[in-house]
């Protein structure tokens, strides 16, 4: 499917969607509890849907009430079919670890670009914890046989913090205590979210200097009631849209959350670039009379790269974004894809070692940008169209992964968006 986004002036307000990162963690924790947890304002996106399907296969009982809240009673049964995590890297790593607690052989599979994303960090540590995992050359499909018994391991955290998060969810149920020593940990804010969810469900742990985690075994997940926070990752695209394409600003509602989110860091580069932000009880407004260049290290929030690259196009001076090495194992190789696709609009992006430099472009070319089935690239392409020249986004349905209502919300704010003609 294609949509064409043309230059527009935005105004008004929209509600931020629910956080898919938090939703998937809450689903896993609710699965591991034997009692009934309640989730208010559940996130509605493809990644969360696949995680929900996985907990159903693993024995959870899920009911939706008249208000749309989910009531989840945990359970651990052997799945009759392979667990399909779709294209979610987080779900792949969470359910790989959690499957090792079931005591039954579990086959884990996925689709699309996820089949190229690494799972091999588990291959050396699973046997040390009492379980087995057989991957396909370090990727999905994988066959997992548990249960974990516990133990002491060293884990490489340089590729993704999601491997650590998966183990942190599973090991409290092991027979013995566990110690995880992490080297070169990246995206620590996502680990902070995991630890906050664990504490929310009554799980105990000791974190020594951010890189050693002691997890007592034989713990029990308690049932809780949780409201899913608004998603700062999705809101980042809207806030950039307000900065580049509104006269008097727009407002994003529902961002007053209880859990850490890495992509709340978007407020830093927006302020550095000259945008004005107003936060009133989680309702965040933004507008930018003028935008200058900015420098930002996105190592711990790599999902911000595409929208920051779009923001930089409309700044007065070149902007730099550090952390390019974090972009290779995403839905696409985002550094290369941003260079290729933005070049179609006339934007020059340079990558030197770990730093991306985006050069401003006063007049953009009308063009077609392919999303590469990457939701963040699709959103970034839409931003170029809002404030530059008409941009057609091919495979725009990629946004369903995290933010299915993205284009509808832009239209509600006044964006000129034309759907594909049949």
pLDDT digits 0-9 by tens, 86-130? 999 999 999 999 999 988 899 999 999 899 999 999 999 999 999
For residue 237, the tally of other CB atoms under 10 A from its CB is 28
Q: Does residue 9 share a domain with residue 93? A: no
**pLDDT of 422 above 50:** no
Stated pTM of the model: 0.95
- The CATH number of residue 361's host domain is 3.65.10.10
Q: Does residue 309 share a domain with residue 221? A: no
pLDDT the model gives residue 78? 83
Q: Does residue 72 share a domain with residue 44? A: yes
Q: What percent of the chain has pLDDT over 70?
A: 99
Q: Does residue 279 share a domain with residue 176? A: no
Q: Does residue 296 share a domain with residue 179? A: no
DSSP calls for 339-363: HHHHHHTT--EEEETTEEEE---SS
Q: Does residue 331 share a domain with residue 398? A: yes
Question: End of a domain among 227, 256, 275?
Answer: 227
Domain that holds residue 76: 20-227
Q: Does residue 6 share a domain with residue 57? A: no
Mean pLDDT to the nearest integer, 7-33: 97
Q: Does residue 126 share a domain with residue 74? A: yes
Structure token pair of residue 336? 């290369």
**pLDDT of 407 above 70:** yes
Question: End of a domain among 195, 227, 259?
Answer: 227
Q: Does residue 379 share a domain with residue 291? A: yes
Supply the angle between the helices 162-170 and 188-200 in degrees, to the nearest 10.
Answer: 20
Mean pLDDT to the nearest integer, 147-171: 96
Question: End of a domain among 227, 260, 280?
Answer: 227
Give the 3-state secondary structure of residue 195: helix
Q: Does residue 200 share a domain with residue 103? A: yes
303 noted as active-site residue: yes
Contact 145, 129 (CB under 8 A): no
Torsion angle of the four alpha carbons 121, 398, 234, 97, in this order, in degrees rounded to the nearest 10:
-20
Angstrom distances, CA of residue 100 to CA of 17, 147, 180, 297: 32, 5, 16, 35
pLDDT digits 0-9 by tens, 290-331? 999 999 999 999 999 999 999 999 999 999 999 999 888 777
Q: What percent of the chain has pLDDT over 90?
A: 90
Total number of domains in the chain: 2
Kindly report the average pLDDT of the chain as a whole number: 95
Q: Does residue 372 share a domain with residue 279? A: yes
- Dist. CA 169–CA 146, nearest whole Å: 15
Q: Does residue 285 share a domain with residue 220? A: no
Question: Confidence class of residue 289 from pLDDT cuts 50, 70 and 90?
Answer: confident
**pLDDT of 12 above 50:** yes
What ranges in 33-88 are assigned the alpha helix state H? 46-57
Task: Kindly name the residue from 47, 231, 263, 303 that is annotated as catalytic.
Answer: 303
Mean pLDDT to the nearest integer, 159-175: 96
**pLDDT of 132 above 90:** yes
pLDDT digits 0-9 by tens, 347-387? 999 999 999 999 999 899 999 999 999 999 999 999 999 99
pLDDT the model gives residue 216? 98
pLDDT the model gives residue 63? 97
Mean pLDDT to the nearest integer, 198-216: 96
pLDDT the model gives residue 262? 95
pLDDT digits 0-9 by tens, 51-98? 999 999 999 999 999 999 999 999 888 888 999 999 999 999 999 999
């Amino acid at each position: 499917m294609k949509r064409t986004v043309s230059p527009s002036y935005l105004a008004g307000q929209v509600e931020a969607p629910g956080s898919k990162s938090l939703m998937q963690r809450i689903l896993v924790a609710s699965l591991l509890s034997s009692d009934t947890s309640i989730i208010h304002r559940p996130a509605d996106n493809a990644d969360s849907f696949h995680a929900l399907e996985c907990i159903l296969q693993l024995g959870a009982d899920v009911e939706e009430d008249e208000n749309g809240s989910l009531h989840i009673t945990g359970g651990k049964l052997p799945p009759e079919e392979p667990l399909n995590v779709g294209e979610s890297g987080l779900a792949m790593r969470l359910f790989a670890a959690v499957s090792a607690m079931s005591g039954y052989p579990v086959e884990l599979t996925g689709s699309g670009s996820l089949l190229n994303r690494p799972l091999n960090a588990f291959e050396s540590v699973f046997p040390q914890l009492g379980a087995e995992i057989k991957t396909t050359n370090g990727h999905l499909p994988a066959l997992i046989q548990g249960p974990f018994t516990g133990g002491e391991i060293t884990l490489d955290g340089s590729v993704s913090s999601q491997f650590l998060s998966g183990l942190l969810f599973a090991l409290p149920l092991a027979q013995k205590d566990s110690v995880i020593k992490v080297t070169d940990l990246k995206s620590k804010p996502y680990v902070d979210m995991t630890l906050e969810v664990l504490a929310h469900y009554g799980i105990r742990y000791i974190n020594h200097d951010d890189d050693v985690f002691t997890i007592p075994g034989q713990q029990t997940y308690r049932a809780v009631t949780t409201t899913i926070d608004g998603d700062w990752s999705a809101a980042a695209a809207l806030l950039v849209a307000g900065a580049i394409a509104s006269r008097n600003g727009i407002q994003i509602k529902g961002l007053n959350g209880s859990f850490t989110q890495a992509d709340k860091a978007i407020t830093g580069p927006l302020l550095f670039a000259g945008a004005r932000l107003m936060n009133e009880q989680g309702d965040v407004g933004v507008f930018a009379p003028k935008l200058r260049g900015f420098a930002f290290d996105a190592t711990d929030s790599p999902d911000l790269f595409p929208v920051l690259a779009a923001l930089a196009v409309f700044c007065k001076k070149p902007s730099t974004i550090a952390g390019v090495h974090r972009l290779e194992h995403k839905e696409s190789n985002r550094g290369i894809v941003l260079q290729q696709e933005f070049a179609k609009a006339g934007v020059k992006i340079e990558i030197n070692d770990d730093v991306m430099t985006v050069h401003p472009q006063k007049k953009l070319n009308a063009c077609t940008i392919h999303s590469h089935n990457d939701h963040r690239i699709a959103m970034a392409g839409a931003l170029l169209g809002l404030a530059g020249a008409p941009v057609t986004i091919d495979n725009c349905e990629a946004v369903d992964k995290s933010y299915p209502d993205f284009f509808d919300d832009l239209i509600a704010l006044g964006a000129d968006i034309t759907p594909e003609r049949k």
